[in-house]
């Protein structure tokens, strides 16, 4: 049963494009994997290390993608907009010809998220290193976003703690705080409106982290559905 599970895991990671030759090689390796010291065999530990390495590569790519200029701002799936409770603020100001005021605030929030996103990498990588064999098997047998869900469950609190002060600095650096204050000060001075002023730091922190997990889920999907890029010795050994 253990050998069948390992074989299934490896085939799932390799994807549906595996050739008959690769299938036979893997089948033989798994069948001969009776001990951890068998140099030609494929052990559970090697499969686990292979997944961790594949996920680490995916994390690296995902974080790099969102932390570059326009990583958030030009991605409609994760672009940070004004919060829902501020929708009436945006509508009212645009009606008054204050489009640039609103647009500057939106862009600056996304710039702050891009500026801070790189700080998530170490937290994600540390979580991956802590994966147990049981965690690995659950992830491999889980849904297409099982690893992302695991990471969110085990890292979100740390991300918020680490992100918030970084976001605060980034918001000030890119002028988001100024633009935000200008938007809501302008709106709150209008007659007959109820003052609105959401927490900028908390809002951008939460949305930045949400966007990170969206991107990580995309990378996980690629790992599961497409042939793994064999860019390291370990991946070549496990998936070669």
pTM above 0.85, yes or no: no
**Is position 37 within any domain?**
no
> Is pLDDT above 90 for 27?
no
The more confident residue out of 28 and 137 is 137
Q: Is residue 101 part of a domain?
A: yes
pLDDT of residue 235 exceeding 80, the answer is no
Q: Which residue has the higher pLDDT, 84 or 19?
A: 84
Question: What are φ and ψ of residue 196, in 5° steps?
Answer: -130, 135
The first and second tokens of residue 114, run together, are: 């891009």
Residue 196 or residue 41, greater confidence: 196
Choice between 12 and 201, residue whose per-residue pLDDT is larger: 201
Q: Which of 12-16, 49-53, 160-164, 203-207 has the lowest mean pLDDT?
A: 12-16
Mean pLDDT of 177-204: 90
Q: Is residue 142 part of a domain?
A: yes
Residue 124 has pLDDT above 70, yes or no: yes
How many structural domains is the chain composed of? Answer: 1
State the average pLDDT over residues 52-57: 82
Domain that holds residue 202: 48-239
Residue 10: inside a domain, yes or no? no
């Amino acid at each position: 049963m253990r050998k069948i599970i390992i074989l299934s895991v490896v085939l799932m990671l390799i994807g549906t494009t595996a050739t008959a030759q690769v299938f036979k090689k893997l089948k033989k390796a798994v069948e001969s994997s009776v001990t951890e010291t068998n140099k030609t065999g494929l052990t559970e530990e090697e499969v686990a290390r292979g997944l961790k390495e594949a996920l680490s590569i995916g994390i690296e790519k995902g974080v790099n993608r969102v932390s570059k200029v326009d990583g958030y701002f030009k991605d409609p799936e994760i672009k940070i907009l004004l919060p829902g409770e501020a929708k009436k603020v945006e509508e009212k100001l645009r009606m008054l010809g204050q489009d640039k005021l609103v647009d500057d605030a939106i862009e600056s929030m996304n710039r702050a998220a891009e500026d801070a996103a790189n700080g998530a990498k170490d937290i994600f990588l540390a979580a991956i290193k802590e994966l147990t064999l049981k965690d690995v098997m659950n992830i491999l047998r889980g849904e297409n976003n099982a690893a992302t869900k695991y990471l969110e469950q085990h890292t979100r609190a740390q991300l918020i703690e680490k992100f918030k002060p970084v976001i605060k600095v980034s918001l000030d650096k890119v002028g988001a705080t100024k633009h935000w204050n200008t938007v809501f000060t302008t709106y709150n001075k209008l007659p007959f409106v109820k003052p609105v002023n959401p927490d900028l730091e908390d809002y951008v922190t939460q949305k930045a982290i949400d966007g990170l997990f969206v991107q990580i889920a995309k990378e996980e999907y690629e790992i599961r559905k497409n042939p793994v890029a064999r860019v390291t010795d370990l991946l070549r050994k496990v998936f070669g």
